[in-house]
Amino acid sequence: MPDLLDQLNENQRVAASHIDGAMLILAGAGSGKTKTITTRLAYLISEVGIAPSNTLTLTFTNKAANEMRTRALKMLGDAGKNFTPLLCTFHKFGLLFLKFYIDRLGRKNNFVIIDTDDKKRILKGFESNIATPVLASEISNFKNSLLSVEDAAHHAAIEIDEHKFKDGYYARLANIYKLYEEYLAANNLVDFDDLLCLSYKILDEDEALAREISQRYAYIMVDEYQDTNDLQYKLLKKLCLTHENIAVVGDDDQSIYGWRGAKIENILNFKDRFKDVKVIRLEQNYRSTSQILRAANELIDHNRNRLGKELKSTKEGGEEVALIESDDETMESLKVAKRIKKLLGSGVAASEIAILYRINALSRSLEDGLNKEKIPYKMVGGVKFYERAEVKDVISYLRLVANENDDFSLKRVINRPKRGLGKISLAKIEKIAFENKFSLFEAICALDESDKELSKKIVSSLGEFAANLRELKECDSPYELVDKLEAKFGIKKYYKSLPDGAERVANIDEFYATIKDQIKQDPSFSIEEFLNEIALQSEQDNIGGEAISIMSIHASKGLEFEHLFVIGLEEGFFPLLGYSNDIEEERRLAYVAITRAKRTLTLSFAASRFYRGKRERLDASRFIAEAGLVAKEPPREQSSGFSKGELIKHKLFGIGQITAVNGDRLTINFGGISRVIMSNFVEKIGTYE
């Protein structure tokens, strides 16, 4: 296949024709990384003569795996008809491996994989006052950290001895972990995390097998290497036990998943973890104009923790990066909507336009603005604001205040927050309602503690629920109602306990703020009319036809658009200080956002936002200045006010000691478990003597 490498640029060609030894391909956004690694796979098989069965290519998504497989097989032509190289996700590899070798753990190979919902259903079967999503998340963390049931129990014992967790949180967690693992083993089930951690365990305990598997997969490639976690790195090291023919492709500047366990250190330290590593930089960008790339390069150059590269455009010139400055979020959404309307009017297809934001709560004002201008949109990788579970809960409570006989709304929130009401208890109440021709609310009000059908605890809890609803009906104003709703039902408190609680609470706050803002603007404001408008919007959303895309920046990874808008570029929102891992990851996220744009890029910021119940004055994001778009000195990073060695207290993890400080990011030792926590989530209690 003499023309296999002809379609590549010089650096792509060097990477694709590399045979033996470790290689790091630093592939910038839009630099043709998929083309490069699929060509390398085809080259190894068709030109070098490597057997397809001796290759292993690992990705993170089935979509990426399928795309690469299709491209590689097309290049291979007849050579790929009989032997298909193994090209799959990490977890698919784990599944295939366990089918052959799980017997080494005394398990049968006819195991069943359970999904997230199955996992939660199993956990719900164990009595615990720890929220099920929290249990699921913590157990997942245990497995990805290769902590056994015994390890978890040991940590719990240490913490009890040192009185670090007075409520015995980790002891209870360790016990549930034990029960959960026993249940999986007894029923021959494996969860998603097991696919990797059990595979690693087998290879770690059997060196002869590890050598055999390593020799089988003599040439390994890994896509999106910057997104690998500790366990995936350790698994790769086992697969490279007999060789170091590993080629990884990734971009340290696009490492944006630290919050879910990805370790940027894996790509930053690759040169130190393997011998004689060949480093190739793919800097030729085929996606964006030079103006867009100039902003991206200048921005990311402010990060210190990076390997360094500079994207160069194949498209010279292009429009300047545009800035939109608005007084508030309403004005911002209208300005953006009008610019999009102009683009659509000039013949631009809706599919070529996208709007990105850092936090999902910002979509509310944006969606309102698009609806007002009758611009159809689709939410990518997320849920529309008024359809998010936590927002729908608040809406249901408000509907019940307006109409206590709204059975649909009552069924949605009757056990949210938890009131000890199960399916059986609800069925009994529904029976009472049916027999007496009552609404569910009337049935609840008719309950008597002497009734043996339901426990006294449930009857009491439901009685309090009904009384609170009736009290809210007496509120003098919608403003008072919104304030009292949270005080009476604690919806935010309920969602705050979940793993993604901060984001859900932000959405609830945004919803409350929206109502309060509308009340201020319109003294005759009616909550009922407002709720009806929301319902009408939802119906209109179902109308077909072409639509623009709106999404979070995380959801935009891997996508590209001719015309791109990024909103909410203000200090505190983007960068999102206090929630994110660190300022450098926030900057990488901004870099990812900018490099999604092909032809035009518009960045938007507002002087104020109504957020979490109050209107806040805001400064433009430092990223705008750092990208060279305004001549303003960016704000300096501030110290967290914490020092190494200090004792702190965390609401979930208890007391710990700070072992390292990196800006707002604290590394804390909680009874032998090291965690990285943002400084505003802990309080200082002293130092060790």
Per-residue pLDDT tens digits for 372-393: 999 999 988 878 888 888 998 9
Asked whether the predicted pLDDT for residue 20 surpasses 90, the reply is: yes
Mean pLDDT of the chain: 87
Measured CA to CA in angstroms, residue 506 lies from 385, 390, 547, 573 at distances of 11, 10, 27, 12
- The verdict on whether omega for the bond into residue 575 sits within 30 degrees of 0, i.e. cis, is yes
Q: What is the pLDDT of residues 25-38, one digit of tens each?
A: 999 999 999 999 99
Instruction: Respond yes or no: is residue 223 known to be catalytic.
Output: yes
Instruction: Respond yes or no: is residue 281 known to be catalytic.
Output: no
Instruction: Respond yes or no: is residue 254 known to be catalytic.
Output: yes
Catalytic residue among 38, 55, 57, 254: 254
211 close to 238: Cβ distance less than 8 angstroms = no
Handedness of CA 88, 91, 94, 95 (dihedral sign): negative
Catalytic residue among 159, 181, 193, 223: 223
For residue 156, the model assigns a pLDDT of 62
For residue 450, the model assigns a pLDDT of 66
**Strand, helix or coil at 207?**
helix
Catalytic residue among 596, 599, 609, 665: 596
Instruction: Respond yes or no: is residue 587 known to be catalytic.
Output: no
Pairing verdict, β 561-566 and 597-606: parallel
Mean pLDDT of 313-332: 92
**Strand, helix or coil at 1?**
coil
Higher pLDDT, residue 145 or 82: 145
Catalytic residue among 33, 263, 622, 665: 33
Q: What is the pLDDT of residues 472-519, one digit of tens each?
A: 888 888 888 888 888 888 888 888 878 778 888 888 888 888 888 788
Q: What is the pLDDT of residues 209-253, one digit of tens each?
A: 999 999 999 999 999 999 999 999 999 999 999 999 999 999 999
Measured CA to CA in angstroms, residue 361 lies from 140, 193, 228 at distances of 27, 30, 28
Strand partners, 683: 649
> Where are the extended beta strands (E) located within 52-178?
55-59, 86-89, 112-113
Instruction: Respond yes or no: is residue 253 known to be catalytic.
Output: no
Angle, vertex CA 642, rays to CA 639 and CA 646, nearest 5: 165
Element (H, E) at 313: strand 312-315
Q: What is the pLDDT of residues 509-559, one digit of tens each?
A: 888 888 887 887 777 888 888 887 777 665 445 445 689 999 999 999 989
Instruction: Respond yes or no: is residue 537 known to be catalytic.
Output: no
Closest CA to 361 of 394, 397, 390: 390
For residue 164, the model assigns a pLDDT of 39
Helices (H) and strands (E) in the chain, counts: 28, 23
Measured CA to CA in angstroms, residue 237 lies from 209, 226, 244 at distances of 14, 16, 9
Q: Is 3 exposed, middle or buried (0-12, 13-18, 19+ CB in 10 A)?
A: exposed
Which residues lie closer than 8 Å to 20 by C-beta, 6 or more apart?
245
**Residue with the two structure tokens 């870099």:** 591
Determine which of 112-126, 552-566, 629-643 has the lowest per-residue pLDDT on average. 629-643
Catalytic residue among 181, 191, 193, 224: 224
> pTM of the prediction?
0.78
For residue 80, the model assigns a pLDDT of 56
For residue 613, the model assigns a pLDDT of 63
